Structures are given as C-alpha cells and as structure tokens.
Structure 1
Amino acid sequence: MDIGLSLLDRTRTRVGETDADAVAHTVERAQRAEELGFDRFWVAEHHGVPGVAGSAPAVLLAVLTGATSRIRLGSAGVMLPHHQPLVVAEQFATLAAVAPGRIDLGVGRSPGFTAPVRRALRERDTDFGADLAELRAHLEGTAEITAHPRPAAAVPLFVLATGHGLDVAAALGLPVVVGGPLLRDPEEPLDRYRQAFRPSAQCPQPWVGISLDVLVADTDAAARDLLLPEAWAMAQARTTGTFPPLQPPRAMTAVQQRYADQTVAGAVAGTPERVAEELAQLVGRTGAAELVASSSTLDRVALAESDAALAALVSRAAVPARG
C-alpha cells in the first residue's frame, strides 16, 4: 500500500437493536477488515452515551484477539484522565502477551461527555504529558515499579492529538493521529509538531495518521446519503446534549442543519474516483502515513460494501505518503 489503512469502529448502536448487537457487529467488522487487508482495527472509549456501546477498549480488544489472527488491534483511544497509567499499562501488556506483535495503544485526553459521566468516572485533573510519560515508562519497564506481565516488546503508543496533544507527542517522540477540525487547516499545527519532534526509540521520525469518516458508494448521492444518519446524530448531540443511536435522519431545525452540514463537510464520501482524489489531496496537505477511517452508517450492508471499496481503492491508489 502507498498509505497505511485502518478502521476505527466506535461500536455504534442502531435504533431497534440492542447494545449486544452493536458489540457483535464490531467483532464481525474486525474479522472482515482482516480479510480485506486493513492494517489495523481500532476501537474507542465512550461512557454513558446512548449511541455508543464501546466503553471498555481493553475488554473489547481481548475479544477481538480471539476473533482475529493477523490484523493489528488498538485503542483510539483510551482517555488517560479516566485511568491510572499503571492500570492501562497492565491491561495492554496483558493483551500483548495474548496477541504478541498485534497490539497498539492509542491514548487521548477528552473529558467525559456530560458532567454526571465525569463525576462517575472520578475524572482526574492531571498533567496529560506527565501521565503519558509515566504510561510509557511502565510499558518500557523503566518506571519505579515493574508492571506485569512484561511484554516481549514495548506496546506502541499513539497520541490522539489536538493542539496541546501535538506538543506533548512531539516532546515525547510519539506518533499522532489527528482528525476533526484540525484537518480543515492542518499545515501549521503539523509543521509545528514535525519541527519540535524529538526522536524516540519507538518513533525515530515524526509520524502522522489522519482520522475521518470515509464512505464509498456507486454514486456521490448514495455516499452522501450514507453520511446522513451520523450527521443527524451529531446535530442532535450538539443541540440536545444526547448522542442517539443511528436511525433514519429526521427533520432538523436550522441550527441542527448547520451542525449536520459541518459533519458532512468534514467527511470524504462519493464514488471511488472522487474519494481517491479527495484523499490524495488530504494526504498531500498532511503528509499522513496512515488513514484511519472512522466511518459509520445505519445500513450495515452498505457499510461493509464501503469498507471493501475503500480497501480496494487504497491498495491500488498512487497516494503519496511520508512520515
């Protein structure tokens, strides 16, 4: 491949289905991703969100290690304000002992979705950089205490980065995965990350992955329709504070429509030709080494077809990639 290709699955729930159905679909999607040749399959951490059943990355990854045999598996990500670094290190070292050479640990610093969730998590007001350095020390065996089990090799760390996260990652010599608003104007912050980067044993040079919704269909209109359930859910979250399960989009207020339009504008969707062109432009602006497609839609069959089309597209696309 000219660029690494991964999927980020948030275990999205769907109206009329159970949370268990969503978990089962994540397992099935990981198995298909392995068959299609994706490099990695990432899972996320959300708490108390009706539209997301993915709340425990380490547990879900343990299930996926038994359901797959080759694909790398990782978290995108574990939110360090919710956890003690030692416990995170122990969980992922255990995963690495079960699936050696296949486990990646992506971490972030996003707070809980609502104030009650933050209280329930006993969310800590700590220094993200210090927590990240401590976590790495536990994984590498250089901390004050020794975390067990000891992995045969250090578990790779990735930072799900915003502005501050980019600075922390550069100082620690860690790879970053960026998405959201940062992708609208990525050149300056990514240049700053690369210029400030301090080489490390894991990452001798800067490394950037990009994460966004990517949906491929036979026509541009069909691909855009696939974006609408997620766009409607995001609009609901922004205006009502509740992120709902995926369902057919309903009528929206003018404010909700603006939020939905922002979601659609931040995605890449269309025919294979259109998607190839837009991804090439985005990779050119970011210098990304990997695409992490965080796509979701109501229609599971259409999502599976989009994943397959993306895998075929990237495997043959002449997309320039640099670290």
Structure 2
Amino acid sequence: MTTPPALSVLDLVPVRTGQTSAQAVAASLALAQRADALGYRRYWFAEHHNMPAVASTTPPVLVAAAASRTSRIRVGSGGVMLPNHAPLVVAEQFAALEAIAPGRIDLGIGRAPGSDPVITQLLRRSGTTSEVDRFGDHIRDILAIMSATGATVRLVSAPGHPADSTYDIRATPAASGTPEVWLLGSSDYSAQLAAAFGLPYVFANHFSGEGLERALELYRTQFQPSAELAAPLTFLTANAVAAPTVAEAEERMLPQARMMARLRGGRPLVALETVEQAAAAEASDHLAAPLIDALHHRWFVGTGASVRTDLAAFAARHGVAEVMISPVAAARDDEPMDAATARIQTLELLAP
C-alpha cells in the first residue's frame, strides 16, 4: 500500500470577478486557518505582480498575517523572487518573521521575475535589487545575514570607517533561530544550485511540469551535504481540485484552465471567472478546450478519494514524502466574496 504524502498548500490569493483585494485576502487567510486546523504541513504564498486574478504580490506581508492567525502550520513564501529585492531586505524581513513565529517560517526563494518585463523594470528601478547573475552569491549572503553569528564584510572605503576594515551585519540583533530556506525552480539551474549549496529544493510542477525527472535527478545526484541539510530534501507542487463528485470538480477546474489558456496564448488577463461565467464563455469561445486534456494529465481533479490516491501515487513515483497543492477550485456566483468555499472544500476532502 502506498504511503500518503504529507500535504501542504500554495496560495496565489486568487481574485475572482467582482471581488476586492480585501475580500480575496480575507478568503485566503481563512483558508490558511483551515489548513492549520486540518493538519497541513506548510502554507506558502507566491509572488506575482500586476495580474488581475492574483493578489499575492508581497509574500512577507501575507506570511505575517497568516502566522498571526495560525498556531501550528509552517508559513512561508513560495517564493520570494530574489532578483526583485535587495538580499539584505529579504534577510531582515524573514528574520523578523522568524521572531514573530519562531520555528514556523520558511523562506522559499526563486530566480524568476514573477511578472512581465515592464513590471520587472519598475521593481528594479530603485537600484537596490539583486542582480540575476549573482543569484548564488545573494543566496549565500541571505543565509549568513540571517544566522545568529551574522555576516562580516570587508570595506574597501566607506564614510566613517577606515579602509580595509571589517563590518558586521545581522538581520536581527539577537537571532535565536533562522527560517528554513528552500530554493524553488523549474529548471536544471535551480536544481544544481540547490544541490551545490546543500539546500532543500522544490520543483514548480504546478506551473510547468516539463523537466521534472531531470531536475530531481540532478539535485539528488549532485547534492553536497551542508550545515543546513545532511541529505537531499525535496517536494513537488501540484494543482488540485477535489469535490464530492467528478462533475463538480470539473466545473470548479474550468475557470483556472481558462486562465492558463490566457497566459499561454498571450491574451489580456482578467479576474478569475466564476464557475457559471467560465461555463458560459467556454461554450462560445472554447478557450480552454485545446488545453484540457494536457491539464488533466498534470492536475489532480476528482473526488477526495480519487485525488488522494493519485497524489500518493505521484509522490511515490517521484520519491517525495510531501506534495504542496495549489487548490485551484473556483467559486460559484452565489458563494461569499470573503470566503474560499471551494478551496476549503478541496482541503477538507484531501486532509491528511
């Protein structure tokens, strides 16, 4: 019998038609509380920018809010897109979060921009963000700055300091613990970097799925033990919709499938459709039709029992003991704007 994997949650804070940002955030925070009560292992917030259907622009803020409303579950970023931010700022934010919720904070770090080129340029306009080609160096900097001992830099010249002197940097004055740092990605590069640094690694299977087997092989075969981790540690992400019937799960899946079709086809993005809106639109424009079969092979859609079975087989096939689901079940027109009714249903039906 296949051992069920531990389950975690990835949240993009979806925004449906007619919903305000405040309502979307309230719905996600209620979902985090429910995941905590149901026994899920982690709850991570993604970083995306300038997308009408996604409100998870600032993971540290959302992590703080979720940490204050939960008591057991680990909370974190899935992930902070490091090229958009100065490494010192990231280290300070997550060291502060560790002080707020000791032993419960994860810092998932990615290398992608999380948006389009215009937004990327605006995010980096201040000149304080992280150069993409120094991604590895900045990971190392963050680890050192968040540690209890901090980091030491050598100054060539700085106002008020003699040349060739040293300067100590700490994310917080007296750290008693550090966040767990994970590298995220969907490429060979991220897998190899995580292996070289001896850090845990997450493959973003919910987004693409292409190259999964190769990335895991590279990570596991090239892994170098470190002070943070003695052996390879990884889990996978996956989109999931669970409902009392397969028919309902299919209906709840369609709005997100249509959103994926918009992204892949370069169409204008809109707020996430409701179940009824998606069904009516799909009947005339067939936007998601070319994608549906492919998504069914990669997403986990069905009853609670069937999705649990499929997730266990997926985890066993790839040798992981944890799967982080992105519950992409959409709302119906008559469901409350400030509640994640369908996503809560998915978590309840799949609960460990």
**TM-score, normalization by structure 2:** 0.83
Gaps of 5+ in 2: 153-167, 332-339
Q: Contact between 2:185 and 2:191, CA under 8 Å: does it hold in 1?
A: yes
C-alpha distance after superposition, 1:214-253 (max 9, x if no partner):
1212222221221111111111122234432211322375
Alpha-carbon separation, structure 1, partners of 2:50 and 2:211: 31
Other-structure match for 1:143: 151
1:188-227, aligned counterparts within 5 Å? 188-227=214-253
Deviates more, 1:216-225 or 1:92-101: 216-225
The runs of at least 4 consecutive aligned structure 1 residues that moved more than 4 Å come to 252-256
Tell me the secondary structure at the aligned position of residue 62 of structure 1: helix
Q: 1:243 to 1:173 in 2, by over 3 A?
A: farther
Tell me the secondary structure at the aligned position of residue 110 of structure 1: coil
CA RMSD, Structure 1 to Structure 2 (Å): 2.0
1:1-323, aligned counterparts within 5 Å? 2-122=4-124, 124-140=131-147, 141-144=149-152, 145-149=168-172, 150-162=174-186, 163-180=188-205, 183=209, 186-247=212-273, 248-249=277-278, 250-251=281-282, 256-299=288-331, 300-311=340-351, 315=352
Decide which structure has the larger Cα Rg and report it: 2
Deviates more, 1:120-129 or 1:97-106: 120-129
Q: Contact between 2:106 and 2:181, CA under 8 Å: does it hold in 1?
A: yes
Alpha-carbon separation, structure 2, partners of 1:284 and 1:132: 30
Q: 1:133 to 1:241 in 2, by over 3 A?
A: farther
Q: Return the offset for 1:292.
A: 0.5
Report the residue type matching 1:35 in the other structure.
A
Q: Return the offset for 1:177.
A: 1.2
Other-structure match for 1:319: none
Q: 1:270 to 1:184 in 2, by over 3 A?
A: farther
Q: Contact between 1:82 and 1:121, CA under 8 Å: does it hold in 2?
A: yes
Alpha-carbon separation, structure 1, partners of 2:47 and 2:318: 26
Tell me the secondary structure at the aligned position of residue 126 of structure 1: helix
Q: Contact between 1:86 and 1:147, CA under 8 Å: does it hold in 2?
A: no
Q: Contact between 2:329 and 2:343, CA under 8 Å: does it hold in 1?
A: yes
Aligned length: 312
Tell me the secondary structure at the aligned position of residue 294 of structure 1: strand
Q: Contact between 1:49 and 1:242, CA under 8 Å: does it hold in 2?
A: no
Q: Contact between 1:239 and 1:256, CA under 8 Å: does it hold in 2?
A: no
Alpha-carbon separation, structure 2, partners of 1:142 and 1:286: 37
Other-structure match for 2:161: none
Deviates more, 1:97-106 or 1:178-187: 178-187
